[in-house]
Copies of this chain bind each other. A is one copy, B any other.
Amino acid sequence: MSRSNLAKLYVYVRRATERLVEPLAVEDMVIQTMPEMSPTKWHLGHTTWFFETFVLARAGLPVRDRRYGALFNSYYNAAGAMHPRGERGQLSRPTVEEIRAWRRQVDDALTRWIASAPDAAFAELATTIEIGINHEEQHQELVVTDVKHVRAANPLAPPYRRRAGDPPAIAKPLAWHRVDGGIVEIGHRGSGFAYDNEGPRHRRWIDPFELASRLVTCGEWLEFMHDRGYERSELWLADGWDSCRAARWRAPLYWRGGDGGWSSLTLAGERPIDPHEPVCHVSFYEADAFARWAGARLPYEHEWEAVAAACPVDGNFVETGAMHPRAASAGDVAQLFGDTWEWTRSAYEPYPSYRPYQDALAEYNGKFMSGQFVLRGGSCATPRRHIRATYRNFFPPAARWQFTGVRLAR
């Protein structure tokens, strides 16, 4: 990417982050409502720390405050000490305004550096800047999901963004898209950006299978609930059943109500469950139990990719402003991109001959390759630019606060 294009992209993505947090009060940006999520102000600081640490400092430029290093390091052991993840909500300072000033300072320094750096230095660090831009987009999505969690923890919290609802839509009936078996190629190849974990491209044998034409809907999920899906151990993986009982799951996260009718907390306020919308905020364990109940299974990630590779990257992303999944109204295989991340049956493992990034960024993806499951396709909180068919997201199987949904296979 040319210097000027990289600089433009950098500015565009950084500003997008700031627009996302505009509706928030300072109080909304400081607290941590569970160890897995982070305060908004921490996200603002961490993404800035990323550019300062991995670009500016390596380019020999000064850092704003050495003490920020430990506070905003997420998990990079190679970058030094770090504040405990579960205690990010115990930091009164720096204030939101101080972090904003830091962002502006880093943005100035970085755009100036892109314009003026010697060619060799630029060549060495351009990829890191591009990773940082993609990293910022990941945290944009996390800002959305973490703000939703903050809102849900408090009955007084107003909607994040009041907006007129989308017009009601009818989900198309479920159909099955048949895929023949054979050898397929999986993983990224080519000139566009991709993370290290998307490669190397490699062959994989696939048995014939069928993929559902759309995501599982809330209406279908209500049937699962009415059929006592949350009470029948035989539908669940053992660890899933333990999680279900320990956390007393009886509906997706953010659902409220019961026999008299269910509603859901959305970023635009609480509203009744729409049976045509895709179900969202379910864990891998719930997705797996639902699939078993439905006489189906979750797709493997290579099955998903084999289908998605031929589809345009189009859908309900964060740019629609909906920040909520919408009913599938079109397409042979709809909703592969956007709306909700799709749990796969694949544990998050390295591809054959996988090589992580070098240096500190070696920790970016590779060290998380145990205990998590792969999700595909992006969600209504993902920037459109960020996603592609080879993209591998990953979360622990009990996580529910991301926009995570279900597509069946068989």
Q: Which residues of A contact B (CB under 8 A)?
A: 25-28, 30-33, 41, 65, 67, 71, 75, 77-78, 89-96, 150-151, 153-158, 183, 202-205, 207, 209, 233-234, 236-241, 284-285, 288, 300, 345-347, 349-350, 352-353, 362-363, 367-371, 373, 397
A207-B353 in contact (CB<8A): yes
- For A89, the chain B residues whose CB sits under 8 A away are 31-32, 89-90
By a CB distance below 8 angstroms, the chain B residues around A150 are 92
Q: Is the CB of B397 within 8 A of A93?
A: no
Evaluate contact between B30 and A93: CB separation under 8 angstroms: no
Residues of B within 8 A of A93 (CB): 25, 27-28, 154, 156-158
Considering the chains assembled together, what is the distance between the CA atoms of A71 and B156 in angstroms?
Answer: 10
Q: Which residues of B are found within 8 Å of A347, using beta-carbon distances?
A: 347, 349, 370
Roughly how many angstroms separate A227 CA and B203 CA in the complex, as a whole number? 36
Q: Is the CB of B33 within 8 A of A30?
A: no
- Provide the bound-state CA to CA distance between A347 and B93, in Å: 39
Chain B residue numbers with a CB within 8 Å of A183 are 183, 205
A42 to B369, CA, bound (A): 36
Among B92, B158, B240, B350, contact of A28 (Cβ-Cβ < 8 Å):
B92
* A363 vs chain B, min Cβ distance (A): 8
Q: Is the CB of B237 within 8 A of A369?
A: yes
By a CB distance below 8 angstroms, the chain B residues around A28 are: 92-93
> A67-B155, A75-B238 known; 17 other A-B pairs, CB under 8 Å?
A26-B30, A27-B41, A27-B92, A31-B91, A31-B92, A32-B90, A78-B233, A89-B89, A90-B153, A92-B153, A92-B154, A203-B205, A204-B205, A205-B205, A238-B370, A239-B370, A370-B373
Known pairs A30-B30, A349-B347, A350-B345; A25 contacts B95 (CB<8 A): yes
Residues of B within 8 A of A371 (CB): 239, 371, 397
Question: How long is the Cα–Cα vector from A397 to B347 in the complex, in angstroms?
Answer: 13
Q: How far is the CA of A32 from the CA of B32 in the complex (A)?
A: 10
Q: Which residue from B33, B207, B353 sits with its C-beta under 8 Å from A203?
A: B207
